[in-house]
Amino acid sequence: MNEALWPHVGALLVATVLAGIGGELFVRGVVGVAQRWALPELLLAMTVAACAPSAPEMTVTIAASASGNSALAMGDALGSNITNILLILGLSLLFGPLPADTRALRWHVAYVLAAPLVTAGLVVDGTLSRWDGSVLWVGFVAWLWFTVTSGRRTRVQAATDLVGGMSVRAGLLLARLVAGVGILAVAGDLFAQGGRAMARAFDFPDAVVGATVVALGTSMPELMTTLVSRWRGHHDVGLGTLLGSNLFNGLAILGTAAVIAPVQVPLLPTWIMLLLGAGAVLLVMPYRGELSRMRGVLMLACYALYVTALGVVLGLGDIR
């Protein structure tokens, strides 16, 4: 490897660590505040906890789009969704079957499946315009509104009032949030710089770099959240975080990238990511109330095929 690239490789590695630390701090702060309202774990994970780990993707998107590298932003958002399901969920299933409520997940899985299909229709002209980005944002807000209002109807107990020392606890939670946001902002800038440098050095399409190297790094918070939730027995938290994160990535983050600057879409890698992303969602539906270990093996095999397919695309020449 060219010695000039080592600083950029180091930037990606440092950013990965920072994304994990910042995402963990942000998740703990947000979840600590939200738990005062005693919402169901699945609802909490799909909304607050899902959006928090996706903060690295949002910072990468804003930095990349603002600097004119919208293809990297789009590749990161779509690639992170594939990484979330096929790699992260696949790895977590190797620890054993994952109990899952089919009725509770059905509507959310359908929405997660629809998101890449709608995006595929929007980019058929080769561009994701500001109007297209607005459509994606409207879809995200509609899902969030429905999910939150449904959760309010299923609230299991009233909120606990702040008393005495709770003000100190609230201050600590706020400090975690602020620290998490700051660390994630730094990580996002490092990812954007490192990803652009590697794309130029190896002449890789920006969308492919974003879909692999950058997507894997920015998905570290989701990986950490999912594995910890498995170890602690909070199964709904891990699965809900991944599904909610995919909606946040595919609708809010991708919509933000397009609103900042219209995205010229490299059709071949984009179609690979969108179609595989939709197919990955189908693997999330439980069978007999659980996701089996073999389902995880299948997800990991599909992820290997995905990386191989992008490698083939790279061999076809300049597809920017």
Q: Can you tell me the distance from the alpha carbon of 135 to that of 133, in angstroms, rounded to the nearest whole number?
A: 5
For residue 210, the model assigns a pLDDT of: 65
| Prediction pTM value | 0.77
Q: What's the structural domain count of the chain?
A: 1
Q: Mean of the pLDDT values across residues 175-188?
A: 73
131: tokens are 């109007």
What pLDDT does 160 receive?
44
- The predicted-structure confidence for 244-253, as pLDDT tens digits, reads as follows 889 998 999 8
* Residue 320 is assigned to a structural domain of this protein: no
Cα→Cα distances 312→8, 97, 315, Å: 25, 33, 5
**CATH number for 8:** 1.20.1420.30
Give the range among 80-84, 95-99, 199-203, 301-305 with minimum mean pLDDT.
199-203
Cα 316 to Cα 320: distance, rounded to the nearest angstrom = 11
- Domain extent, residue 49, equals 3-315
In a domain, 40, yes or no: yes
- pLDDT for residue 269: 77
Q: Evaluate if residue 312 carries a pLDDT over 80.
A: no
What's the rounded Cα separation, in Å, for the pair 206 and 227?
Answer: 30
Using the CB atoms, write b or e for 273-307: b if 16+ within 10 Å: bbebbbbbbebbebeeebbeeebbeebbebbeebe
Query: What digits encode the pLDDT tens for the residues 133-174?
Result: 999 999 999 988 888 777 655 444 434 444 444 556 667 767
Position 190 in a domain: yes
- Is residue 54 within 8 A of residue 245, CB to CB? The reply is yes
160: in domain: yes
**DSSP helix/strand/coil, 154:** coil
% residues pLDDT > 70 (the chain)? 72
